[in-house]
Amino acid sequence: MNAMTKRERVLKAFNNQAVDRVPVGFWFHFLGEEELSQALTHPQLRLLEQNISAHQKYIGDFEPDFVKIMSDGYFLYPRVSEIAPQTAADLYRFKPVGADHPWIRDQVKIVKSVVEKLDGACCFYNLFAPANILRINIGYEPFFRIWNEDKAAVAFAAGVIAEDLSLLARLAIEEGGADGIYLSVQNPENHISPADYSEFIAPSDKAVLAAANALTPNNILHCCGYGDNKNDLSIWKDYDAKAVNWATAIEGVSLAEGKALFGGKAVIGGFDNRAGKLLHKGGRAEIEAEVEKILSDAGKIGVILGADCTVPPDLGRERFDIVRNKAIALG
7-17 tens-digit pLDDT: 999 999 999 99
CA dist 264 and 272 (Å) reads 22
- For the segment 128-143, the average pLDDT, to the nearest whole number, is 96
Q: Are the C-beta atoms of residues 302 and 266 closer than 8 Å to each other?
A: yes
**pLDDT the model gives residue 264:** 98
What is the distance, to the nearest Å, from the Cα of residue 203 to the centroid of all Cα atoms in its chain? 19
Q: What percent of the chain has pLDDT over 90?
A: 96
User: Running DSSP on this structure, what letter comes out for residue 234?
Assistant: G
Mean pLDDT computed over every residue of the chain: 96
Does the pLDDT value for residue 320 go beyond 80?
Answer: yes
Q: Roughly how many angstroms between the first and final C-alpha of the chain, as a whole number?
A: 9
**pLDDT the model gives residue 94:** 98
Does the pLDDT value for residue 88 go beyond 80?
Answer: yes
Question: What 3-state DSSP class applies to 182?
Answer: strand
> Phi, psi at residue 269, to the nearest 5°?
130, -140
Length of the chain: 331
Domain residues of the chain, as ranges? 6-330
Regarding predicted confidence, which is higher, 227 or 80? 80
Does the pLDDT value for residue 227 go beyond 80?
Answer: no
The H-or-E segment that residue 196 falls in is helix 194-196
CA dist 248 and 264 (Å) reads 16
Q: Which of 230, 262, 228 is nearest to 245 (CA)?
A: 262
**pLDDT the model gives residue 188:** 81
* Topology (CATH level 3) of domain 6-330: TIM Barrel (3.20.20)
pTM over 0.75: yes
**pLDDT the model gives residue 265:** 98
Q: Which of 250, 303, 254 is nearest to 273 (CA)?
A: 250
Does the pLDDT value for residue 228 go beyond 80?
Answer: no
